[in-house]
Every structure is written in C-alpha cells, then in structure tokens.
C-alpha cells in the first residue's frame, strides 16, 4: 500500500495543484492521499473522480501530519529536489520497503525542515526546481515499475476507450459490461 | 529539439499549474515552452530559474498557437487522457520523430476539439483524469529514455548537491568551479 502525504496545502492558493497531486496519486498507483489542511471541496472533487473512474482510492484532509508521519509503520520517502538522486536511492528504498507500506511525502513550496529528519529517505527526482506533481508521477512510476499502466480500477461508472482521434467515453452498467453510444 | 505547447492558459487561475508545466518541461528535457496567453510574470519566473539553475531553455508567451501548430515542421504529440496509450503509441512516435523536432501539446482543462485533428498523435498517459504536469513528465521521460537524469545544464549560478538529510546549495563562480558555504 502506498499513501501520499501532502504538506503545506492552502485552500485557495494550492487548490488546483493539490487536486493534481491527489489525482496523480490515484492514477499512478497510490491507495490513499492525506492532506494536512481540511478541504471539503478537494474531497468532493477527488471522491467524484473515484465514483466515476473507479477505485479503490481514499482521500483524507485535515490530517495531523506530524503525528501521522511519526506513527506510520512503513518506509517514509520525502520527495525534495535537495535529496539523493532517485535512481541511486531506489535500490535501498526498494529493499527497505519490501513487504511494507510506503509513504511518499510532497510539499507545496516550503516544507518544515524537520521533515528531512522524520523521513527515512529524502529523494530528488532531479536536483532542479520543477513540480511536486511531476516528482510524484515519476517516483510512483519507478516504485511500482510502471504498474499504473496495468491497473484495473473497480466500481467505475465510466471508462475511456483509447482512440487516435477523438473522445470515446463508455458508460458502464456495472456487472453488465460496457454500454456506449458508439456501440 | 522538444518544444512544449501549453494551451488554455489563464493568468490568474492557471498561474501555478502553468509554472509547473514550464519547469517540468525544462527539467525533463524540453528546450522551449510556448504558452498561448501572454504572461510576463510567468516569463519572469521561468527566466529566473534558467538564470539560477542553467539552460538552455526558452519561454515564449502570447503565442499564436494554431498558426504555430500548423507551421511546426516536426512530430506533434497531443497529450490527452482520451488518446492512444503511451506504451502502445511510443514505437510509432519514435519512428515518426527520428531526426525531427517534437512538439508536445498540453492543455489546461478543455482543449479545442480541432487539436485532435491537428496533432500527429493523440496520446494518453493512462486513460484517467490526473494532471498535464504528470503526463508531461512521464511522456518526456519515455521519449528521451530518461535522459533528464543525465542532463548537464549550462550557465547556472547555483547547483544543488544531493544530500541525504539537508539542503546543500552551491554557488557557482562560473569558470572557477564550485564555491560553497559547506566547503
């Protein structure tokens, strides 16, 4: 089980980027996202995507992050441009995480300095400023060996059928197979 | 040469996500980012990162996107959750792009329908809603065979030295090698 911990979320300023963090967590193989600040609207948006496109995926907001970080029984990986390079750290992380849950920690702008000490690994997806969304996607891709490309989500009410030239969204009658306007 | 074309940018609403798009483009191997709406503040932020962390990387805003898309002599890849799956499309894209420039097109929320026809390929980084930042990072990672991890940027005034537990930022005296407070 992989959980993503989002720190430093401010409802107005970070609304869109935190939404990207949550949906990227879901799409690339995490089971849960925990956000420090309470944000009902964010929960509504993410729960809506899970209802339409499937799960399981859980969002919690208003999380006491320091307590949760300390209590987490698993391998804690802080994604930061200042950390050790991902490619070099990956074997040690994989070894440490064998049979355990993994927590990936991503901040919005500044992260409290103590996070560097509370994490088991501080890891950089490149030592350059870019985006916690990009870092999360690449880290999940590497940790799961691109497992996201093969994930089957459950309980979806719609699905996208890949198409070269247009949108093809299928309504799913659960248990009855796909029903689409194109069929 | 890889250029990223960002469509649908609105200065206030998309300020942060478009900044993430631009910095992700730079960090993961694109040479330029072109943004449809004019945005001097965005240019200032991106140029500032290039000045500090190196280039070459160029940002243009206020780009006549349809004209540029039509005029682009190279392989145009539209990243959309409705497209063909990346893993399956990649061999054809790589073949088409051999010796040519590549344009990666990413939209903010809705993209004009005609983009599906103007692109050479419509490609999905997973058929699920997540983030154009995540999609761009993964697409660049695959197209460059993770070349971003080996990129040497030029003309930087600072560099991050990867560290397990803390920030270690080195000031570079250009041509004189690294000078750091830690040294």
Helix H or strand E encompassing A147 = none
**Which of A162, A165, A166, A168 to probe the B interface (max B CBs under 10 A)?**
A162
Q: Can you give the pLDDT at residue B119? A: 98
Q: Can you give the pLDDT at residue A109? A: 77
Q: Above 90 in pLDDT, residue A174?
A: no
Question: Which residues in chain B touch residue A166, judged by CB atoms under 8 angstroms apart?
Answer: 82, 116
A positions 141-160 inside 8 Å of B (CB): 141, 148-149, 153, 159-160
Q: Can you give the pLDDT at residue A182? A: 43
Q: Can you give the pLDDT at residue A183? A: 31
Q: Kindly state whether A138 is in contact with chain B, defined as any CB-CB distance less than 8 angstroms.
A: yes
Nearest residue in chain B measured CA to CA from A147: B126
This model of the complex carries an ipTM of 0.95
Express as a percent the part of chain A with pLDDT over 70.
95
Q: What share of chain A is helix, strand, coil (3-state, %, to 5)?
A: 35, 25, 35
For A1-21, the pLDDT digits (tens) are 999 999 999 998 899 999 999
At residue B157, the 3 state secondary structure works out as coil
User: How far B64 CA lies from chain A's nearest CA (Å)?
Assistant: 23
Q: Above 50 in pLDDT, residue B84?
A: yes
Q: Can you give the pLDDT at residue B183? A: 31
Question: Which residues in chain A touch residue B160, judged by CB atoms under 8 angstroms apart?
Answer: 81-82, 124, 127-128
Block residue for tokens 């392989």: B75
Chain A to chain B, count of Cβ pairs less than 8 Å apart? 159
For B154-179, the pLDDT digits (tens) are 999 999 999 999 999 999 976 555 55
Average pLDDT, stretch A89-96? Answer: 97
Block residue for tokens 């990072």: B137
Q: Supply the angle between the helices A15-27 and B132-143 in degrees, to the nearest 10.
A: 50
Read off the pLDDT band of B149 (50, 70, 90): very high
What distance in Å separates the CA atoms of residue A147 and residue B92, rounded to the nearest whole number? 22
Average pLDDT, stretch B12-29? Answer: 96
Q: Above 50 in pLDDT, residue A163?
A: yes
Size of chain B in residues: 183
Helices and strands, counts by H and E, chain B = 6, 9
Q: Which residues of B13-49 are buried (b: 16+ CB within 10 A; e: fewer)?
A: ebbbbbbbbbbbbbbbbbebbbbbbebeebbebbeeb
């Amino acid at each position: 089980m992989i959980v993503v911990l989002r720190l430093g979320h401010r409802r107005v300023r970070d609304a869109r980027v935190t939404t990207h963090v949550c949906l990227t967590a879901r799409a690339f193989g995490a089971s849960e996202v925990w956000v420090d600040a309470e944000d009902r609207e964010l929960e509504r948006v993410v729960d809506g995507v899970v209802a339409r496109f499937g799960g399981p995926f859980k969002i919690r907001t208003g999380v006491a992050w320091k307590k949760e970080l300390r209590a987490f029984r698993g391998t804690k990986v802080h994604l930061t441009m200042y950390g050790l390079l991902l490619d070099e750290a990956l074997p040690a992380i994989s070894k440490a995480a064998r049979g355990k849950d993994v927590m990936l920690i991503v901040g919005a702008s500044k992260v409290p300095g103590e996070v560097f000490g509370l994490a088991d690994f501080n890891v950089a997806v490149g030592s350059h400023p870019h985006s916690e969304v990009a870092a999360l996607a690449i880290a999940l891709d590497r940790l799961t060996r691109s497992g996201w490309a093969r994930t089957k989500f459950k309980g979806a009410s719609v699905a996208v059928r890949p198409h070269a030239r247009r949108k093809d969204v299928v309504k799913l009658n659960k248990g009855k197979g796909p029903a689409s306007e194109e069929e």
